[in-house]
Amino acid sequence: MDWGMKNRLSKLINPEDGRAVWLAVDHGYFLGPVSKLEEPAKTIKPLIPYTDALMLTRGTLRNCVDTGLKIPVILRVSGGNSIVGPALSNEGIQTSMEEAIRLNASAVAISIYIGTEHEHKTLLSLGQLVNEGQRYGMPVLAVTAVGKELEKRDARYLSLCCRIAAELGAQMVKTYYCDEFSKVVKSCPVPLVIAGGPKLKTGMDALELAYAAVREGASGVDMGRNIWQSEKAVGMIRAIRAIVHENAPVKEAAKFLK
């Protein structure tokens, strides 16, 4: 692996503990102004001090984030779909590698939709992005997206998705936590982070999720709604940080929610 690629990765996953807390605020690319992210600048700003990287689109980055940002950016480069369109899986690459470099991104992110009518297209897009990433030293984060079919999230399906993403060259994979998650981790040769998915019933549920994921081998989280849709968004990200970077037990981390 070349120096530029290694350097970018070292900004995203702390080389000391091999862990990462990323904040996902890219949801608008297919959901529009989703609840609590209507004004991204207001949502994002107080969370930045506790985040290792921001995952977002070029539009949100340019319009809602200060250019003095000190943490790395994971640029969402796939899209072309919407929640009201015919198929959420119909994504292509909508932001170029040149643009990612211009924006000083530390990685690019793309969703793959395995088992859908657009599986082939999204996997070839992943391959294309990895080829370009190799040329410029840009890591690729593959997101094993399930669209509206949340029930697909089991170890068998997610192992298949994560392994395919890694085989096609993604340097990092973002997936979901599931029962028997350690099987997913073991069969994926690159670092895995988990999404939080739709907001869980309680903040404690989200902390349990993060705790179980890292205990079973995840490198960390790339969470969105369970952080910024919480009434205590700052407390939530601080608690997750304590779990991911300090191996804090859930009860101890929960002090940030008081």
- Catalytically annotated residues: 174
Q: How far is it, in rounded angstroms, from Cα 89 to Cα 112? A: 8
CB 140 within 8 A of CB 110: yes
The yes or no reply on residue 55 touching ligand 5RP (CB under 6 A) is yes
The yes or no reply on residue 223 touching ligand 5RP (CB under 6 A) is yes
Helix (H) or strand (E) holding 159: helix 155-167
Residue 171 or residue 226: which is nearer to ligand 5RP going by CB? 226
Q: How far is it, in rounded angstroms, from Cα 206 to Cα 184? A: 20
The yes or no reply on residue 143 touching ligand 5RP (CB under 6 A) is yes
Q: How far is the CB of 244 from ligand 5RP (least distance, A)?
A: 14
Q: How far is it, in rounded angstroms, from Cα 31 to Cα 111? A: 14
Q: How far is it, in rounded angstroms, from Cα 2 to Cα 157? A: 32
Measured at the CA of 196, the angle between CA 72 and CA 155, to 5 degrees, comes to 115
Size of interface with ligand 5RP, in residues (CB under 6 A)? 15
Q: Which range, of 89-97, 125-133, 189-197, 235-243, touches ligand 5RP by CB under 6 A?
A: 189-197
Site string for ligand 5RP, 93-112 (x = CB under 6 A): ------------------x-
CB 179 within 8 A of CB 147: no
Q: How far is the CB of 196 from ligand 5RP (least distance, A)?
A: 3
In terms of Cβ atoms closer than 10 Å to its own Cβ (0-12, 13-18, 19+), residue 257 is middle
Residue from the set 12, 26, 47, 175 that interacts with ligand 5RP by CB under 6 A: 26
Residue 228 or residue 256: which is nearer to ligand 5RP going by CB? 228
| Backbone CA torsion sign across 185, 173, 116, 26 | positive
Nearest residue to the partner ligand 5RP, using Cβ: 224
The yes or no reply on residue 19 touching ligand 5RP (CB under 6 A) is no
Q: Which range, of 46-54, 222-230, 235-243, 245-253, touches ligand 5RP by CB under 6 A?
A: 222-230
- Contacting residues toward ligand 5RP, per CB under 6 A: 24, 26-27, 55, 111, 143, 145, 195-197, 222-226
